[in-house]
Structure 1
Amino acid sequence: MREVIRIDHQDLSFNIRGETPGMAYVARALSPEVSPNMGIGFARWEGAEVEWTVLYDEVIFVIEGCFELTANGQKHEVRPGQMLWIPEGTALTYAGHALFGYVVHPGNWKALHGLT
């Protein structure tokens, strides 16, 4: 039987994402080895703007600050206590100043798309 895992964002190693004027940091909290079904982590956006087309379904939930996401010509401002669901294939820009959590499905999306 597998055990319950407690994860604190302060214990994770954050990696820089994007080449932008601001900074963006992302830390995967659950590896595909723990769950190939879900990818879970934390991110901190400090003014970065990162363009991406998601290769998975994603949920973003804001813990502090204001996260901004632009997709299909619409800008979404997401604040603490709010979340976004983003369907696979969405071309978007992540931006803002926020600490947020994310969940992606499938968790092994990199392997499925030949990116590992």
Structure 2
Amino acid sequence: MSEVIHFQRSALQFQPYGGQPVERAALCRLIGAADSQTMGAGIACFDGCSIEWTVLYDELIVVLEGHFRLRLGDRVVEAGPGDVIWVPEHTALAYEGEQARVFYALYPVDWQTRNA
């Protein structure tokens, strides 16, 4: 196990996500396999985009800012600051939002290796 890590907001680095420019969709990966043997975590931003994905892990999403949508086929989960969404493994979805910033935690951290 690694030591306690303090992530200061001013030092967070976001990378483009889902083939979108960083202004539309971005990820800041905080915790990965180098830090934990079990879970991953990060912050994601979505603004005027739709990123389709089938999650290969269990995911918990906490909306920090803006308006976040999780599109699940015909069902749409609309969420605002303070809302929490649980997404079970193998869920097909689209991440969407307007100036949305979300925290996510996922398990297992090694989902890519397990699904290679």
The normalised TM-score by structure 2 is 0.89
Q: Secondary structure at the match of 1:65?
A: strand
Q: Secondary structure at the match of 1:111?
A: helix
Q: Is residue 51 of structure 1 aligned with residue 69 of structure 2?
A: no
Shift of 1:72: 4.1
SS at match of 1:13: coil
* Identity rate, percent: 39
Structure 1 residue 111: Cα displacement = 1.6
Instruction: Identify the residue that residue 75 of structure 1 maps to in structure 2.
Output: 76
Of residues 82, 103, 106, the one that matches 1:104 is 106
* Structure 2: runs of 5+ lacking an equivalent: none
CA distance in 2, matches of 1:9, 1:43: 13
1:36 aligns with 2:37: yes
List per-residue Cα deviations over 1:17-43 (Å, max 9, x = no partner).
123587100111012111131110001
Residue equivalent to 2:12: 12
Q: Would the aligned equivalents of 1:20 and 1:49 in 2 still touch at CA under 8 Å?
A: no
C-alpha separation between the residues in 2 aligned to 1:70 and 1:2?
A: 35
Post-superposition CA distance 1:87-112 (Å, at most 9, x none): 00000011012011000000111121
- Structure 1: state its 5+ residue gaps: none
Work out whether 1:88 is the aligned partner of 2:86.
no
CA deviation profile, 1:29-72 (whole Å, cap 9, x unmatched): 01211113111000111111000000000011011101100114
Alignment RMSD? 1.8
Q: Which amino acid aligns with 2:4?
A: V
TM-score relative to the length of structure 1:
0.89
Runs ≥4 residues deviating over 6 A: none
Distance in 1 of aligned mates of 2:112 and 2:31: 14
CA distance in 2, matches of 1:106, 1:47: 29
Q: Distance in 2 between matches of 1:56 and 1:10?
A: 29
